[in-house]
């Protein structure tokens, strides 16, 4: 399947969110986190954005392409570790070391304050590469050059109080 979802990067980035891969629905409509409003609501509830996103198909433009509603006008970027494989079932997505190197190249060329790992397979890959040491809880798991690396639960994970882990990101801005 052709990939229609394009990562959103900037010359400098305050928080770079790294998900696993484009799911079918997001790829089909060309928008991240567009199944529902849960990711956007999470960012709003944690005050990473100052206004709610009311349309799941405009979140990319409001949060990643513009900084108008971002806390302190912070610059947020988004990519997938496996950016060229469309698959809704994360168990079917293989992660090779070259995938990590691509994300590190992004950081090397675009100064990034915080790298936010949003899926356990993403965090496992970074740990397998020796870049982080995962904790029992989410939170700070490592540092690459001057970039802090945090692991957070995925927005639709059934984890209580997941907002607390995203609030930690706000403190770094």
What pLDDT does 73 receive?
Answer: 98
Q: How confident is the model at residue 172 (pLDDT cuts 50, 70, 90)?
A: very high
In angstroms, how far apart are the furthest CA atoms of the chain? 39
Domain contains 1: no
Pick from 42-46, 82-86, 120-124: least confident: 82-86
What pLDDT does 84 receive?
Answer: 87
Question: Encoding tokens for residue 128?
Answer: 């397998």
- Decide if pLDDT at 72 tops 90: yes
Q: Given its phi and psi angles, is residue 79 left (phi above 0), alpha (psi -120 to 50 degrees) or beta?
A: beta
Domain contains 117: yes
Domain contains 4: no
Domain contains 59: yes
The tens digit of pLDDT for each residue in 108-165 reads 999 999 999 998 899 999 999 999 998 767 999 999 999 999 999 988 877 888 899 9
Domain contains 110: yes
The mean per-residue pLDDT over the stretch 51-60 comes to 96
Domain contains 2: no
What pLDDT does 98 receive?
Answer: 84
What pLDDT does 160 receive?
Answer: 83
| Total structural domains within the chain | 1
What pLDDT does 1 receive?
Answer: 83
Domain contains 83: yes
- Decide if pLDDT at 22 tops 80: yes
- Decide if pLDDT at 89 tops 80: no
What pLDDT does 155 receive?
Answer: 86
CB neighbours (10 Å) of residue 91?
6
Domain that holds residue 166: 13-171
Domain contains 36: yes
**CATH number of the domain encompassing residue 74:** 3.40.470.10
The DSSP annotation for 125-149 comes to: HHHHTTS----SSSEEEEEETTEEE
């Amino acid at each position: 399947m052709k990939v229609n979802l394009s990562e959103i990067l900037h010359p400098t980035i305050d928080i770079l969110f790294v998900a696993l891969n484009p799911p079918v629905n997001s790829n089909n409509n060309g928008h991240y986190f567009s199944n529902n409003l849960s990711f956007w609501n999470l960012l709003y509830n944690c005050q990473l954005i100052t206004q709610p996103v009311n349309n799941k198909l405009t979140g990319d433009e409001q949060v990643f392409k513009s900084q108008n509603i971002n806390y302190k006008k912070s610059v947020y970027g988004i990519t997938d570790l496996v950016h060229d494989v469309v698959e809704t079932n994360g168990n079917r997505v293989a992660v090779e070391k070259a995938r990590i190197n691509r994300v590190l190249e992004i950081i090397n060329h675009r100064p990034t304050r915080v790298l936010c790992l949003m899926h356990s397979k993403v965090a496992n890959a970074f740990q397998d590469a020796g870049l982080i040491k995962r904790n029992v809880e989410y939170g700070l798991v490592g540092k690459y050059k001057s970039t802090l690396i945090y692991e957070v639960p995925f927005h639709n994970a059934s984890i209580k109080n997941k907002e607390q882990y995203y609030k930690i990101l706000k403190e770094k801005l």
